[in-house]
Chain A
Amino acid sequence: MTSGGLMERLQDGLWKENPGLVQLLGLCPLLAVTTSLVNGLGLGIATMVVLTLSNGLVSAARRWILHEIRLPIYVVIIASLVTCIELMFKAWFPTLDRSLGIFIPLIVTNCAIVARAEVFASRNPIGASLVDGMGMGAGFALLLMAIGAFRELLGQGSILAGLDLITGGEPFSGFSFADSGFLIAVLPPGAFFSLALAVAAKNAIDGKRRISRRRTMSRKLRPSDHPRS
Chain B
Amino acid sequence: MEFVRREAPYIAPKANVSSMMLQVLVALIPAALAHVWYFGPGFLCNLIIAAVFCVGGEALVMQLRGRPPLATISDYSALVTAVLLTFALPSLTPWWVTATGSLFAIVIAKHMYGGLGFNVFNPAMVGYVVVLIAFPMELNLWVAPHMGDIDYQYLTLLQTIVYTLTGSLPETLAFDAISRATPLDAMQAGLRTMHTFSEIWANPIMGNFGGRGWEWIGNLTLAGGIWLLIKKIIRWHIPVGVFAGLLIPMTVMYAIDSSANAGPGFHLFSGATILCAFFIATDPVSAATSPKGRLVYGAGIGFLIFSIRQWGSYADGVAFAVVLMNMATPAIDYVTRPHIVGHPRRGGHP
- Are B133 and A189 neighbours in the complex by a CB distance under 8 Å? yes
Counting CB contacts under 8 A, is A182 at the interface? yes
- Are A182 and B108 neighbours in the complex by a CB distance under 8 Å? no
What's the least CB distance linking B294 to chain A, in Å? 28
CB 8 Å contact bits of A160-200 with B (1 = contact, 0 = none): 00000000000000000000101111010100010000000
Chain A residue nearest in CB terms to B131: A184
Which listed residue (A183, A185, A189, A193) contacts B136, Cβ 8 A? A183
- Are A183 and B134 neighbours in the complex by a CB distance under 8 Å? yes
State which size class the interface on A falls in.
Answer: under 10
Counting CB contacts under 8 A, is B61 at the interface? no
Say what secondary structure dominates the interface of chain B: helix
Counting CB contacts under 8 A, is B175 at the interface? no
- A196 to B134: give the CA distance in the assembly, Å: 19
- Are B133 and A193 neighbours in the complex by a CB distance under 8 Å? no
State which size class the interface on B falls in.
Answer: under 10
Chain B residue nearest in CB terms to A187: B133
Counting CB contacts under 8 A, is B226 at the interface? no
Q: Which of A182, A185, A189, A193 has the most CB of B within 10 A?
A: A182
- A187 to B132: give the CA distance in the assembly, Å: 13
What's the least CB distance linking A150 to chain B, in Å? 15
A/B interface sample: 15 pairs, CB < 8 A? A180-B137, A182-B100, A182-B134, A182-B135, A183-B133, A183-B134, A183-B135, A183-B136, A184-B130, A184-B133, A184-B134, A185-B134, A187-B133, A189-B133, A193-B108
| A interface with B by C-beta (< 8 Å) | 180, 182-185, 187, 189, 193
What would 13 more interface pairs be, CB under 8 Å, given A183-B134, A189-B133?
A180-B137, A182-B100, A182-B134, A182-B135, A183-B133, A183-B135, A183-B136, A184-B130, A184-B133, A184-B134, A185-B134, A187-B133, A193-B108
| B interface with A by C-beta (< 8 Å) | 100, 108, 130, 133-137
